[in-house]
Chains A and B, each alone.
Chain A
């Protein structure tokens, strides 16, 4: 069954069959070849009951909130502020790229949206101030990936839904690793620019009065983040309810920046519907596959596999992470998550790995998949804003940050408390 699964998944995906269809067909295959009972009959029931979910409604809401914030234009103002505060560091604007991504991530559940927004505000500066493109682009592509680690995060909602793990706990668990990773990005950029100053750009000095006056532009993002995450932790609201409040606040924010036009609202809604339908089809298909796999006795096959190779718990974890890296080269991130979760999580949870901790580790590898070629969405997002220039600039630029992410993953494996301390102590 494991061989059937791996080969069929790869063949169907490589034939460019849409991911949602691939997963449903795979589930039907499990029914035909491995199950004594008819399972496909449950297709309608699964699609209805998995979609009739108040929890998953948070997905369109977080998508819409992110869209509205993008359209409000607050990112450009925040970028300017962080430029005033951080550009004295070796590497100049590189740090504003990373830290603006961090702020933006805290109000956006998507890495792609984060990278797209930061590229549109940052790239004109790279040209104007004659920065070396490579590291500059690397900071945007890598900084953008923080969107799914720092809460709110659509990918953590999907993980929580498929593994039945608490989403508030996952959100809070992502916070320290997210900030730590951002800090490591900043430190790595500064070190690189101290060794080779030509990698960065001019450092700027700004007067303190300008610095303090500019801080006002960070307030909307901080306020929104505090409201969303705060209302979940104070027990006032579920993730879906806090996302609704977030959308209302984002509407007010867009209105305050005079960007709440009918055109902007319609295009935000249109994006939300497309993104949500795409994600929901994949999630529902994954729920169906999940159901056929457990009914078809996947756990028995997996246990046999482990006994046959006599893997220790740690070797098993390394094997899973290695598979993530390999698949991450070729497979888009949401698909990477939904095709691996039903197979690897029962194994890892079975031998005692913590579901919350593993969710965060998995997100780091999903982030890595976003910036590893040939299929790394963030690389293309950044490149899309500079047509006609060499793509290799982006590819070279992300290398230092890939190393930093692997370091971060190693830290999480060595010290699980980085992720678990906050959720354990906040209750």
Chain B
């Protein structure tokens, strides 16, 4: 791989990190807003017997969206759990193979979830499905946001697969890719 492609890869990863971090902030803001809504809902229900039904329904969607869109940020911050007991005793080359295997397996499941998630979106669009509540939310909206999270996650995993392959090149022989290693870092906890 020429250095130009390699530099492009680095720049794309930086971009992916920035985007994922901004998305994480958005998710955080949405979470705080939801928390306040739920708390207000409990209080008004208790005091005035008035309940906003949509809070329950929408916070469910929020968690689904959260669980999809937070994955890329978590991956780039290396916060997904890996069992490192053999890893720590392996040689550098072997560790590189394990890193590649791990990121490939993440890419595979990301693509599979996105692939098998698509029919959900397709059905909610073609059938014009509405949620089974007083809100009658058109289901394609939460489905679309949720599914795009897995598509984004797939793209990021593919980017990291490329980095995993790159780590076998002679120019990268001396060090591991910091985005892929499973090494335990106490400061992350």
Residues of A within 8 A of B (CB): 12-22, 24-25, 28, 40-45, 47-48, 51-54, 56-57, 60-61, 64, 112, 116, 231, 236-237, 240-241, 244-245, 247-248, 266, 269-270, 272-278, 280-282, 284-285, 330-332, 334-335, 374-375, 380-381, 383-384
Residues of B with C-beta under 8 A to A284: 67
Interface size class of B (residues with CB under 8 A): 35 or more
Residue interface mask B108-122, A partner, CB < 8 A = 1: 110011011111100
Interface members, chain B 78-123 (any A CB < 8 Å): 79-87, 98, 101-102, 105-106, 108-109, 112-113, 115-120
Pick the contact of A17 from B41, B105, B184 — CB < 8 Å? B105
Residues of A with C-beta under 8 A to B151: none
CB-based contact A18/B113 at 8 Å: no
Residues of B within 8 A of A (CB): 24-25, 27-28, 31-32, 34-36, 38-39, 41-42, 46, 56, 59-64, 66-68, 70-71, 73-74, 77, 79-87, 98, 101-102, 105-106, 108-109, 112-113, 115-120, 142-143, 146, 150, 182, 184, 186-187, 189
Q: Which residue of A lies closest to B57 (CB)?
A: A54
User: 10 tightest CB-CB pairs across the interface, nearest first?
Assistant: A384-B186, A44-B117, A277-B70, A269-B28, A44-B116, A280-B67, A244-B38, A51-B64, A277-B74, A43-B116
Please, how many angstroms separate the alpha-carbon atoms of A28 and B184 in the complex? 29
CB-based contact B81/A18 at 8 Å: yes
Interface centre among B77, B81, B87 (most CB of A within 10 A): B81
Residues of B with C-beta under 8 A to A13: 83
CB-based contact A25/B105 at 8 Å: yes
15 A-B interface contacts by CB (under 8 A)? A15-B101, A18-B105, A19-B80, A43-B113, A44-B115, A48-B146, A53-B60, A269-B25, A269-B28, A269-B32, A277-B70, A280-B66, A282-B81, A381-B186, A383-B186
CB-based contact B102/A17 at 8 Å: yes
Known: A15-B98, A273-B28, A275-B79. A245 touches B42 (CB 8 A): yes
CB-based contact B112/A40 at 8 Å: yes
Pick the contact of A48 from B42, B62, B64 — CB < 8 Å? B64
Minimum C-beta distance from B186 to chain A (A): 3
Residues of B with C-beta under 8 A to A60: 31, 63, 66
Residues of B with C-beta under 8 A to A335: 81, 83
CB-based contact A266/B28 at 8 Å: yes
CB-based contact B71/A277 at 8 Å: yes
CB-based contact B25/A266 at 8 Å: yes
CB-based contact B118/A44 at 8 Å: yes
Q: Which residue of A lies closest to B185 (CB)?
A: A384
Q: Is the interface of A mostly helix, strand, loop or mixed?
A: helix
Q: Which residue of B lies closest to A45 (CB)?
A: B120
Please, how many angstroms separate the alpha-carbon atoms of A285 and B108 in the complex? 13
Pick the contact of A270 from B24, B82, B105 — CB < 8 Å? B24
Interface centre among A24, A281, A332 (most CB of B within 10 A): A281
Residues of B with C-beta under 8 A to A22: 105
Known: A16-B102, A17-B82, A274-B70. A116 touches B189 (CB 8 A): yes
CB-based contact A276/B67 at 8 Å: yes
CB-based contact A14/B112 at 8 Å: no
Q: A16-B101, A273-B24, A278-B81 are in contact. List 14 more A-B contacts (CB 8 A).
A: A15-B98, A17-B101, A43-B116, A44-B116, A48-B146, A52-B142, A237-B42, A269-B32, A273-B27, A277-B79, A278-B79, A284-B67, A285-B109, A383-B186
Please, how many angstroms separate the alpha-carbon atoms of A247 and B59 in the complex? 15
Residues of A with C-beta under 8 A to B106: 18, 21
CB-based contact A57/B62 at 8 Å: yes
Interface centre among B27, B109, B117 (most CB of A within 10 A): B109
Minimum C-beta distance from B182 to chain A (A): 5
Residues of A with C-beta under 8 A to B120: 44-45, 48
Residues of B with C-beta under 8 A to A244: 34-36, 38-39, 42
Minimum C-beta distance from B30 to chain A (A): 10
Please, how many angstroms separate the alpha-carbon atoms of A237 and B38 in the complex? 10
CB-based contact B70/A16 at 8 Å: no
Pick the contact of B86 from A14, A248, A275 — CB < 8 Å? A14
CB-based contact B63/A56 at 8 Å: yes
CB-based contact A18/B102 at 8 Å: yes
CB-based contact A21/B105 at 8 Å: yes
Residues of B with C-beta under 8 A to A383: 186
Please, how many angstroms separate the alpha-carbon atoms of A332 and B117 in the complex? 29
CB-based contact B109/A25 at 8 Å: yes
CB-based contact A241/B38 at 8 Å: yes
Minimum C-beta distance from A388 to chain B (A): 13
Residues of A with C-beta under 8 A to B24: 269-270, 273
Minimum C-beta distance from B54 to chain A (A): 12
Known: A16-B82, A20-B80, A44-B113. A272 touches B119 (CB 8 A): no
Minimum C-beta distance from B185 to chain A (A): 9
